[in-house]
Amino acid sequence: LAVLRAFTETPRHLFVPHALRHRAYEDAALPIGNGQTISQPFTQARYLETLGLTGKERVLEIGTGSGYQTALLAALADQVFTIERVRALAEAAQAALKAAAAGNVSLLVGDGTLGWSAYAPYHAILVAAGGPEVPQPLVQQLAPGGRMIIPLGAKGAQTLTLVQRAESGGCVRATPLGEARFVPLVGKHGFDA
C-alpha cells in the first residue's frame, strides 16, 4: 500500500523531459538524455516492493537518473542518499526533486560502484543500472539484515537480483528475481564507460 501511495503522490511528469511529458504516465521506460532512461513504473514498483521499506531506513540509490525513483524512495524511507555519475542528469534531478518537495535526499555526483561510505551502513541499496557483478564496496556498506536490489549480467540483459546480508553481518545471499534490461552500471566496479 505504501508503494502505491508513493506512486500516487509523486508527479512523474516533473522527472520526464518536456518533449515527453505527454507520455509521463505510460508504463514505459523513457529516454532522459545522456544515453539514460527513466525506468518503467512497473519495474520501479517491483524494486520498491521487494525492498519492503517501513519508513525508518537509510537508503542508498545508485543511478539517480531523472530523480523519479529517488523521489519514490524519499516517500518510503527516512533518508535517501543517491549517486549519479552524469553531472547534467544530477543537476536536472536535483531541480525536479526540489519541485517535488523531496527534502530528505542527499545527492552526490560520482562513481556509484564505490557507494557513499560516509553515510554507511545502509538498510537498503537500490542499483538502477546493470552490472557484471555485485560491487564489493556496496556489499561492505550494506547493514546487517540489509537488502540490495541489483540487475546482474551482460550489457543489455540481466537478472534482477536480491542481495541480503545476514543479521549477524557476515553471510551474503543472492536470490534471482527474474529477467531485466537496464543501462550499464559504469564505474570502477562495473563496466568501462
Cis peptide before 121 (omega within 30 of 0): yes
Helix 41-51 and helix 68-76, axial crossing angle in degrees, nearest 10: 30
Is there a contact between 64 and 84 (Cβ–Cβ < 8 Å)?
yes
Query: Catalytic: 39?
Result: yes
Q: Bridge-partner residues for 187, per DSSP?
A: none
Q: Are 106 and 54 in contact (CB under 8 A)?
A: no
Options 39, 66, 106, 168, the catalytic residue: 39
Beta strand extents in 25-171 (DSSP E only): 30-33, 36-38, 58-62, 79-84, 105-109, 122-127, 142-154, 157-165
Q: Which helix (H) or strand (E) holds 185?
A: none
Query: What residue spans of the chain are helical by DSSP H?
Result: 2-9, 41-51, 68-76, 87-99, 136-140
Please list the active-site residues.
Answer: 39
